[in-house]
A and B are shown apart, each in its own frame.
Chain A
Amino acid sequence: MSDHYQVPETPAQENISFELNGEAVTRSAPSAETLLDILRESGQITSARAGCRVGRCGACQVLLDGRAVPSCLVMAWQLPGHHVETVEGLNKDPDFLSVRDALASESALQCGYCTPGFAVSLVAGIRQRRQGSTVDLTESVAGNLCRCTGYGGLRRAIDQLSAPGCPDEADGQGASLSENQ
């Protein structure tokens, strides 16, 4: 059998406390468990998704203290004292709403499995930009893979988000979409 499936002796569980979408949480997990598994095991968070588990595809991207990181590469022991955000916790965030509206209006997704990861990367880029960095949003999604769209809609959405005055002035225009739900 391949080494790939070698599982060590059952590792000790530890109580891991961190902030998840603005709330203090404590999870029992081995210290080397990935943030991705910790998030998904709860059943509450489904937006972070396993695509490759080697940090290549970005489908599990989350914000760790505001920076976009693949949650498959963050270990439980690295979490205490840090703040994790997923799109489940961003649904009132003006930057996320701008990103969401741009992605939706440009039809920048098909199957959508990768899309929350792209959204997280773009939100991180927009926040950096607001803090004064010169950010090329296309660089923000360099670590995200999409197999469906050929990135055409994403390019258009990024153009929209990079237009002068947008989305730093975002004020929750996302409300325009909610009437359909």
Chain B
Amino acid sequence: MTHENPPGIAGNLTTLDGDSVRNSASKMDLTQRIEGRLAYATDQRHLPGLLYGAILRSACAHALITRVDISQALGMPGVHAVIKADDVPGLNRFGIVIRDQPVFCDERVRYEGDAIAAVAADTPEQARAALNAIEVDYQPLPVVSDAALAEQQIALHNSHEKHGGSNLLARETLECGDIDDAFARCAVVAEHQYQTPRQMHAFMETEGGVAIPDGKGGVLFRVGCQSGHRDAEQLADILGIPHEQVTVEAMATGGAFGGKDELTVQPAAGLLALKTGRPVMIHLDRFESCRTGIKRHPVSVKMTTGCDAAGRLLAHKVEAILDTGAYASLGPAVLENYLDHATAPLYRIEAYRVSGRLVYTNNGVCGAFRGFGGNQATFAVESQLDALAHSLGVEPAALRRINLRSPGDAGSRNQTVRWTAPPADVLTAAVASPLWSRHDTDTGRWLTGTGMAMGAQGNGLGDGLPDSGGGRISLSPAGRICVEFGFSDYGQNIVESITRSVCNGVGCRETDVEVALGSSRGPDSGPTSASRSSVLVHSVLASILPRWIGAVRGHAARLSGHPEEGLEFGPGGMFFNGRQVLSYRELAESASPDEMAASASRDFPVAPDSGQPVGRYLQLQIATVARVAVDRLTGRVRVTDLHHVTAAGRVIYPPGYLGQIEGAAVMGQGMALTEDMTTRDGSYLADNLDQYLIPTFHDAPLQRVDVLDDTPEDDPFPVRGVGELGIEAVAPAITAAIEAATGVRVRRLPVDPGDLLVAMAAKEQTL
């Protein structure tokens, strides 16, 4: 639905609503899922000879291991294998950035999810009974549980000498201009401490899948994952077999959000499969998933930000500490993305010094999670802008307008940036939200308020990391137009989006297209992360479709005797003068598969600046307006409405775009209001979804998503990935709305209702 633009916006502002969904929803894949017919990785019980694996986890958050005795477990009923560290033929380590996490610990455990041994048995019950029979002696070590103190405490990794053998895993500082001089000229300075929680992905399907031995020393993995090729490499090193002998076939995955980016059950399942010669399934229960799985990095940050009397941002200082837990996983990359976002990519700031430290602790393991550090940083940055606006006595939107970058401006790290709409237009659309003019009369119990925040989100792995992806198109023997990518499908509508792009590009119908994803035997598209899939799919298709169309058309011309120019692709086959002259199946039957295939790999677009590329080139924006109601009796916050304005290029598949924004936003709401995997002495206090509360239907707000598309006709990258954009600005929008309702600014997430009540009472007393 297109409605009248607010004045001052050049681009096309469209509301993605139920009508746009119903008009374009592709139902092929969805009905399979609704009817329960789509097989997930953890559904594969029919495999002949299937054994069930279970993993022994550490009983301590930090300890030396003095003895592991598996002899009794080996004799338990139904047990086929019990393995521990010395049964790992290859590298007993994994990790995407640094391989510092043992498959099985033999000397030391560093968090309570650490694996020590694994069992394969005929039934899950037998496997668990055998775990109980494994004896482990521990010599407890002091638990490092406070990230702020971690660098002065016992080092988790002796071998980590980079920073003098301390728990400092990485530190980085981004600088621009003379910050001391800039602060000296500030009329107003805001200095605040912010804390964001250890959020859990809480995908509905916990980590799991099967490893199937091929009888020739190789293993096939069918496990929920995000990067088949990269996982295959790590697994080959662990199993001590050549890379070619490991195949990963990603199955339909019941949610990931970054939490399945790192290896989960694969190492243990693969080792057990090779040891027993039988397929082995491991499916973590929720308790084990909570205890062992990756989480979002909690960040504690002090931000000091100043502006002149006219509101121009002059100086910005950031000192952040990120708790990465026991192992690195993607922590160093999260730190980088956090800092990138902490430079406030949307705004011009004369000088900044943005620094962060990433430390090891015994608090679980943190890694990739939708937003990837960016939304943690944006929460603090946007809160700082509101604080400055209040000090100056101006509207928060007005302060933003003064400082927003314009198209053509360099990015916050002086890199070339490609927006799809002017940031000021996104702001204008958000300021025009009907939520601002909803003046509810506050009842005695509920206080309502509306607030806003903005966010920028880059696509791609960023900062000079190798980033490329390939894809392939072919005509299958059955006459299907087969499109292959290495991405995993965990519900992000990538199948529908690829199908839609191919139909648009070729002129065929949806049922002519078959999308094959996530095989390590297929094209390597790189990880399914960093909102990069849509960009790469578009880029690869732009390269291969014209070639493939040319080849197929040429072949069809030779076969049918019609001239190439008049042959058109259509539903089911090739048409000439409106009549079908060849079906795709006939075409396929008349040629070898390779004759009608095209493949390409494209580098992810980065800033064309000289030297090392830094910062994000393809930038997206969002403004989120939140309306909340705060319960004066309990301090509970209800988010009643969220209105988003996004500028993220063209919409390829409206239901997917809308669903990504809505889903990410509610995930961000969870982070703001209820979700935190709190640890005490390295132990999680919650172990299931009855204690860790994610939003339900009744917690979810009404949402509206307006898409501002001002992408130039000739933009080489008109399609951007929106998987993370929706989470970017939700939390600061909610706390701004809480402030509008109560006068209290909350800087520690999730919002603690008790603390909020106390602060509200103090506020009322001073009034």
Q: How far is the CA of A52 from the CA of B134 in the complex (A)?
A: 26
Query: Is A126 interfacial (CB-CB < 8 Å)?
Result: no
Q: A100 — nearest CB in chain B belongs to which residue?
A: B34
Query: Chain A residues with Cβ under 8 A from B690's Cβ?
Result: 52, 54, 56
Say how far A34's CB is from chain B's closest CB, in angstroms: 12
Q: How far is the CA of A6 from the CA of B131 in the complex (A)?
A: 9
Quick check: B36 and A104 within 8 Å, CB to CB?
no
Query: Chain A residues with Cβ under 8 A from B703's Cβ?
Result: 150, 152
Query: Chain B residues with Cβ under 8 A from A12's Cβ?
Result: none
Query: Is A81 interfacial (CB-CB < 8 Å)?
Result: no
Query: Chain B residues with Cβ under 8 A from A145's Cβ?
Result: 204, 689, 694, 696
Say how far B116's CB is from chain A's closest CB, in angstroms: 10
**CB within 8 Å for A107 and B655 given contacts A40-B45, A147-B667:** yes
**CB within 8 Å for A41 and B45 given contacts A109-B33, A111-B252:** yes
Say how far A20's CB is from chain B's closest CB, in angstroms: 14
Query: Chain B residues with Cβ under 8 A from A86's Cβ?
Result: 36
Q: How far is the CA of A53 from the CA of B288 in the complex (A)?
A: 12
Quick check: A2 and B59 within 8 Å, CB to CB?
yes
Query: Is B21 interfacial (CB-CB < 8 Å)?
Result: yes
Query: Chain A residues with Cβ under 8 A from B467's Cβ?
Result: none
Query: Is B139 interfacial (CB-CB < 8 Å)?
Result: no
Query: Chain B residues with Cβ under 8 A from A147's Cβ?
Result: 201-204, 255, 257, 663, 667, 694
Residue-wise interface mask of A (84-106) relative to B, using a CB-CB cutoff of 8 A (1 in contact, 0 not): 00111001000000011001111
- Of B45, B689, B695, B698, most buried by chain A (CB within 10 Å of CB) is B689
Quick check: A113 and B689 within 8 Å, CB to CB?
no
Quick check: B36 and A116 within 8 Å, CB to CB?
yes
Residue-wise interface mask of A (137-178) relative to B, using a CB-CB cutoff of 8 A (1 in contact, 0 not): 010011011111111111110010000000000000000011
Residue-wise interface mask of B (492-514) relative to A, using a CB-CB cutoff of 8 A (1 in contact, 0 not): 11000000000000000011000
**CB within 8 Å for A111 and B204 given contacts A52-B688, A153-B659:** yes
Residue-wise interface mask of B (652-667) relative to A, using a CB-CB cutoff of 8 A (1 in contact, 0 not): 0001101100111111
Q: A90 — nearest CB in chain B belongs to which residue?
A: B35
Query: Which residues 199-227 in B have Cβ within 8 Å of A in the complex?
Result: 201-206
**CB within 8 Å for A105 and B25 given contacts A7-B128, A40-B45:** yes
Query: Chain A residues with Cβ under 8 A from B57's Cβ?
Result: 2
Say how far A49's CB is from chain B's closest CB, in angstroms: 7
Q: How far is the CA of A151 from the CA of B694 in the complex (A)?
A: 12
Query: Is A181 interfacial (CB-CB < 8 Å)?
Result: yes
Q: How far is the CA of A140 from the CA of B538 in the complex (A)?
A: 40
Query: Chain B residues with Cβ under 8 A from A54's Cβ?
Result: 286, 688-690
Quick check: B254 and A103 within 8 Å, CB to CB?
no
Q: How far is the CA of A56 from the CA of B688 in the complex (A)?
A: 9
User: Chain A: interface residue count, which band?
Assistant: 35 or more
Selected contact of A149 from candidates B125, B254, B283, B663, CB within 8 Å? B663
Selected contact of A116 from candidates B35, B125, B655, CB within 8 Å? B35
Query: Is A13 interfacial (CB-CB < 8 Å)?
Result: no
Residue-wise interface mask of A (108-131) relative to B, using a CB-CB cutoff of 8 A (1 in contact, 0 not): 011111111001000000000000
Say how far B640's CB is from chain A's closest CB, in angstroms: 13
Query: Is B601 interfacial (CB-CB < 8 Å)?
Result: no
Query: Is B595 interfacial (CB-CB < 8 Å)?
Result: no
Q: How far is the CA of A59 from the CA of B40 in the complex (A)?
A: 13
**CB within 8 Å for A115 and B25 given contacts A7-B128, A56-B688, A59-B204:** no
**CB within 8 Å for A148 and B125 given contacts A111-B255, A113-B204:** no
Query: Is A50 interfacial (CB-CB < 8 Å)?
Result: yes
Q: How far is the CA of A177 from the CA of B664 in the complex (A)?
A: 29
Q: How far is the CA of A153 from the CA of B663 in the complex (A)?
A: 10
Query: Which residues 470-524 in B have Cβ within 8 Å of A in the complex?
Result: 490-493, 510-511
Say how far B438's CB is from chain A's closest CB, in angstroms: 19
Q: How far is the CA of A1 from the CA of B56 in the complex (A)?
A: 8
**CB within 8 Å for A87 and B34 given contacts A113-B255, A145-B696, A151-B697:** yes
Residue-wise interface mask of A (51-62) relative to B, using a CB-CB cutoff of 8 A (1 in contact, 0 not): 111101101000
Selected contact of B663 from candidates A1, A105, A110, CB within 8 Å? A110
Quick check: B697 and A141 within 8 Å, CB to CB?
yes
**CB within 8 Å for A107 and B491 given contacts A113-B255, A148-B659, A177-B31:** no
- The dominant DSSP class at the A interface is loop
Quick check: A150 and B662 within 8 Å, CB to CB?
yes
Quick check: A4 and B287 within 8 Å, CB to CB?
yes
Q: B54 — nearest CB in chain A belongs to which residue?
A: A5
Query: Chain B residues with Cβ under 8 A from A138's Cβ?
Result: 697-698
Query: Is B700 interfacial (CB-CB < 8 Å)?
Result: yes
Quick check: A52 and B689 within 8 Å, CB to CB?
yes
Q: How far is the CA of A40 from the CA of B59 in the complex (A)?
A: 30
Query: Which residues 431-480 in B have Cβ within 8 Å of A in the complex?
Result: none
Query: Is B43 interfacial (CB-CB < 8 Å)?
Result: yes
Query: Which residues 55-88 in A have Cβ within 8 Å of B in the complex?
Result: 56-57, 59, 86-88
- Of A52, A105, A152, most buried by chain B (CB within 10 Å of CB) is A152
Query: Chain B residues with Cβ under 8 A from A88's Cβ?
Result: 35-36
Selected contact of B697 from candidates A100, A116, A154, CB within 8 Å? A154
Say how far B737's CB is from chain A's closest CB, in angstroms: 17
Quick check: A177 and B27 within 8 Å, CB to CB?
yes
Q: B17 — nearest CB in chain A belongs to which residue?
A: A156
Q: How far is the CA of A111 from the CA of B36 in the complex (A)?
A: 11
Quick check: A180 and B510 within 8 Å, CB to CB?
yes
Quick check: B697 and A144 within 8 Å, CB to CB?
yes
Q: How far is the CA of A41 from the CA of B45 in the complex (A)?
A: 8
**CB within 8 Å for A91 and B132 given contacts A59-B204, A149-B663:** no
Quick check: A142 and B659 within 8 Å, CB to CB?
no
Query: Chain A residues with Cβ under 8 A from B30's Cβ?
Result: 103-104, 107, 109, 112
Q: How far is the CA of A116 from the CA of B40 in the complex (A)?
A: 13
Query: Is A43 interfacial (CB-CB < 8 Å)?
Result: yes
**CB within 8 Å for A112 and B33 given contacts A107-B655, A150-B666:** yes
Query: Chain B residues with Cβ under 8 A from A113's Cβ?
Result: 40, 203-205, 254-255, 491
Query: Is B38 interfacial (CB-CB < 8 Å)?
Result: yes
Quick check: B253 and A111 within 8 Å, CB to CB?
yes
Q: How far is the CA of A43 from the CA of B56 in the complex (A)?
A: 26
**CB within 8 Å for A110 and B35 given contacts A1-B131, A150-B663, A151-B697:** no
Query: Chain A residues with Cβ under 8 A from B42's Cβ?
Result: 49-50
Quick check: A43 and B45 within 8 Å, CB to CB?
yes
Query: Is B28 interfacial (CB-CB < 8 Å)?
Result: yes
Selected contact of B204 from candidates A5, A43, A51, A100, CB within 8 Å? A51
Q: Can you report 26 residue pairs joining A to B where beta carbons are below 8 Å apart?
A: A1-B59, A5-B132, A10-B77, A41-B45, A46-B43, A51-B205, A51-B689, A57-B689, A100-B31, A105-B27, A107-B21, A109-B33, A110-B492, A110-B659, A112-B33, A113-B205, A115-B33, A116-B36, A138-B698, A144-B697, A145-B204, A145-B694, A146-B204, A150-B667, A151-B697, A155-B702
Residues of chain A whose beta carbon lies under 8 Å from any beta carbon of chain B: 1-2, 4-7, 10, 40-41, 43, 46-47, 49-54, 56-57, 59, 86-88, 91, 99-100, 103-107, 109-116, 119, 138, 141-142, 144-156, 159, 177-178, 180-181
With A142-B698, A181-B31 known, 15 other A-B pairs at CB within 8 A are A2-B57, A4-B287, A5-B54, A7-B128, A49-B254, A57-B689, A105-B22, A106-B25, A107-B656, A109-B33, A112-B30, A113-B254, A177-B31, A180-B28, A181-B32
